[in-house]
Structure 1
Amino acid sequence: MMKSYLSVRQVVQRLNGAVSVKLIYRLVAQGKLRCNRRLGKLLIEEDSLVDLLEPRGPPPPPEEPPPPRRPRGRPKKEKLELW
């Protein structure tokens, strides 16, 4: 089976201009879109675009909340009232 490739501008057109060219390059740099460089052009694999838009497989597990933070410094002493 032969892979099909799209130029960066074709990806933007396919998404009806909802994303910028800069975002496509950022997604490639993050590894979220697979690509090849040919003749000085960045060619995006069409399958990786489909996978990005319609993820397959089980959903990712929910993120756990961060642990509670301890206050900085020494605990304050309680004032004693004599009267």
Structure 2
Amino acid sequence: EFDGQLDNTKPCVIIVGPHTSNWDFIIGIIARSALGTKIHFLGKHQLFIPPWGWLFRAMGGSPVDRRKYNNLVDGVVLLFQQD
């Protein structure tokens, strides 16, 4: 269910939770298509290795290595600035 509207004039962060199954990703891709806007996502770094890594990147994904401190907030800010 979508509640409200996205402001396509400026970037925003959408937090989706709880992540309970692998179906969440598929539902997210369907939701992105329904919204008709460019949406990037973060995913665990293991998704971005061969053979499927190229696909997740092409879909707008960026890897996150959750095993170590990586200053994720600053990394997301850089992603906003690149777009």
TM (norm. structure 2) is 0.25
Larger Rg: 1
The answer to which structure, 1 or 2, has the higher relative contact order (CA under 8 A, 6+ apart) is: 1
Higher helix share: 2
TM (norm. structure 1) is 0.25
